[in-house]
Amino acid sequence: MNVVVVGATGGIGNALIEALLDEPRVAQIFAFSRCTGNAHAALCSERVIHGFVDLEKEASIEQAGKTLRDTPIDLVVVASGLLHDGNLRPEKALKQLSQDSLQRVFQINAIAPMLLAKAILPHMRSDTRSVFGVLSARVGSISDNRLGGWHSYRSSKSALNMFLKTAAIGSKMLQPNCVIVGLHPGTVDTQLSAPFQRNVKPEKLFSPQQSANYLLDVISDLIAEDSGKVFAWDGEEIAP
Ligand SMILES: NC(=O)c1ccc[n+]([C@@H]2O[C@H](COP(=O)([O-])OP(=O)(O)OC[C@H]3O[C@@H](n4cnc5c(N)ncnc54)[C@H](OP(=O)(O)O)[C@@H]3O)[C@@H](O)[C@H]2O)c1
């Protein structure tokens, strides 16, 4: 298997790479991040090819796709995402919205995965099943939204989910073996969730390793009919 992980330096992305390295059938992992050093031990494995990508730059995403050359890709996991960063915080109320924050959150969570699909889907293996999975979030479900808040993050994940459904319909004819899905990793102990963990029960807070293993189990069970859907860490389908 040849695998692509985008967001290789993230909590879940790095745990996915570590878990994938334990699988003998994984030949190569193309690990993309905007980090240029080898800060993470997993990225130093000889089965890992580290590539640069800045998800805020379209040319960088295109270039990342080109580095795959003729390698047939079996699995892609886009594990990048943005919830908070410096002054950028999830909004509780409309008055906290700003154009800059909205654009940045949509860029990383929705637009970049769309451009990654454009750049990487043509490289997916076509003779057997392949999977293009993007980490979404349960809060992106419109029907499940009872609490409100987190306007930009929620809406960016809803936009992502709509794109995944649209891409799945579009690729049905050309790439019938490619399953395109959104994946909710659970609440995971990473820097993304760190400021918001206070009310999370300990048993509901997964380690990145736990979440990565759950997600790989969900991925291994996916079938063609699942394309366009969003699944949680336990395999449950999340309603749009
Ligand atoms: N943690 C949770 O509880 C949780 C819950 C639901 C959904 N999710 C989703 O799961 C995914 C992974 O989250 P995580 O918890 O692993 O977060 P994380 O540890 O903060 O990782 C986020 C990753 O995104 C990358 N990234 C952000 N902006 C980028 C840019 N401009 N260019 C390239 N890479 C960029 C980060 O790279 P740098 O290292 O360079 O910053 C990092 O690798 C996200 O989509 C998140 O929405 C997480």
Q: What is the pLDDT of residues 204-234, one digit of tens each?
A: 999 999 999 999 999 999 999 999 999 999 9
Q: Write out pLDDT tens, residues 85-101.
A: 999 999 999 999 999 99
Superfamily assignment of 2-232 in CATH?
Answer: NAD(P)-binding Rossmann-like Domain (3.40.50.720)
Q: Write out pLDDT tens, residues 127-136.
A: 999 999 999 9
Domain limits of the chain? 2-232
> Which atom in ligand 1 lies closest to the alpha carbon of residue 8?
43
Instruction: Give the number of C-alpha atoms closer than 13 A to the C-alpha of residue 137, restricted to the C-beta side.
Output: 23
> Which atom in ligand 1 lies closest to the alpha carbon of residue 192?
20
User: Which whole number is the average pLDDT over 56-61?
Assistant: 98
Q: What pLDDT was estimated at residue 43? A: 78
User: Which whole number is the average pLDDT over 197-207?
Assistant: 96
Ligand 1 pocket (Cβ < 6 Å) reads 7, 9-13, 33-35, 53-56, 79-82, 108, 135, 137, 184-185, 187-188, 190-193
Q: What are 232-236's contacts with CB under 8 Å, separation 24+?
A: 232/138, 232/183, 232/184, 232/186, 233/183, 233/184, 233/185, 233/186, 233/206
10, burial (CB in 10 Å: exposed 0-12, middle 13-18, buried 19+):
buried
Q: Are 40 and 236 in contact (CB under 8 A)?
A: no
* 37, pLDDT greater than 80: no
Q: What pLDDT was estimated at residue 39? A: 66
Q: Write out the DSSP string of 23-65.
A: -TT--EEEEEES--S--SGGGGSTTEEEEE--TT-HHHHHHHH
Pocket test for ligand 1, best of 80, 134, 144, 150 (most atoms within 8 A of CB): 80
Please provide the average confidence, as pLDDT, over all residues in the chain: 96
